[in-house]
Each structure stands twice: as C-alpha cells, then as structure tokens.
Amino acid sequence: MCGGRGTRLREGVDGDRSGEGASDGEGGHPTDDEKPLVEVAGQSMLSRVVEALRGSRVGESGTVHAVVSPQAPQTAERARDLSLSVVETPGDGYVSDLGTALDAVGRPALTVPADLPLLAPEHVDDAIARAHERSSGGGPSATEPTKGHPTSLTVCVPAALKRRLGASVDTAFEHDGREVAPTGLNVVAADDDTVALTYDARLAVNVNRPADRALAEALCG
C-alpha cells in the first residue's frame, strides 16, 4: 500500500504533539517527498519494503503489487521503475483503497504499508506461517507452511512497546487484556480476522511523523 501523500510527515518539527506518549514533534525533520519515497538511511521506504517482500516467500512464489493513488504520482512512477504490478485506486482512504486493491488481486493476499521501512523477509514469512497455522491448528515453521488457504491475520505490537521506543501511536485496540497497535502487516483471507502479537521493535515503527523517521534511522544503525 503506497498511495499516501504523507501529510503528517510534512509537519514542522515544532508541530503539535499527539498526546499518545510519543515524541511526534521532536527529533525529526519534515519532508516534501511523497510518503513512500521518503528515505530512511539513504533508501526510500518503498524500496525497503519491496526488498523485504522480494526476499520472502512472496517473492519466490507470488506477485508484489504496488497499490497507488492520484495523491502519489511519483510513487506510481517509481513502482513501475521497480517492475512492480501497479494497482491504481481512487485515493479515497486506506480502507477504501485496500478494498479496491483486493477486488483487483483477489484473496488471500498479504498486505503491508510502505511506511514500515524496517520490515524484513522473516517478518513476512512468519506472518504467512502463522496464518496457515491458525487455519490448520498445526504448528508449521516459517519455511514450511501448511498447504491450503490461510486465515486472516493482523500482526500487532504492544502499544507500550511503541511508546517505550518513542514511536507514534495512532491506532490501538484492546486484545486479551492488552493494548495493541496494528503494524499494517496483514494476511487477508475470507474468514474472521485473528491477531498475531510480536515484540519485534522493527515492526513497531510506522513512519507517520518526522520523529518516526528519525527513530527508524536510529534502529537501522
């Protein structure tokens, strides 16, 4: 998913704080780039996510689609340069555009936003394995998932982990008595959604604000 313009990344470093316990107004610099093209440690977030997907089981046996919108024309051009399958959406918002994309590519599908620059191939493989495990009741490894259709899966991190790192917390909900935040890494199938919790700090950083970008760069080091 790479159709966002990145309005919050354009905020000045002295902008309003979110009240979520994160350092949203400090430690980062605004940017004029379209959000997926914002660089983290010298590489665009779009390229980082594409590398992770192509290094995973998705790259071995599936197709990587770039879901774009009219709000990010340069991103669409860059996606084509990367030889991605490009799915165009109206740009009516993440949920609406995701629905348009899923109608185009079908289910099951693995989805990830371009603002998750520390995504690694093992994160993708683990999500796929967990989705197959939940559907079968078994315990496959990330390298040998069960055959058949996976169950829908939302990968989340504890909201407390994001706050401890200093990452912004824009969306959170209660799960098994704990406040968790979705990472944006999901497996979308035809059944009810289940939650997979991870404590990996790399998945706790969605770059929504300048300070998130600075945090991602620090963790890259």
- CATH of residue 149's domain is 3.90.550.10
Any domain includes 93: yes
144's tokens: 């040998």
Any domain includes 53: yes
Structure confidence at residue 11 as a pLDDT band (50, 70, 90) = low
Range of the domain at 199: 8-220
> Per residue in 32-87, pLDDT tens?
789 999 999 999 999 999 999 999 999 998 899 999 999 999 999 999 999 999 99
Contact indicator for 91, 70 with CB cutoff of 8 Å: yes
Q: CA 191 to CA 38: how far, in whole Å? A: 35
% of the chain at pLDDT higher than 90? 72
Q: Do β-strands 152-158 and 193-197 pair in parallel, antiparallel, or remain unpaired?
A: parallel
The number of distinct structural domains making up the chain is: 1
Any domain includes 26: yes
Any domain includes 3: no
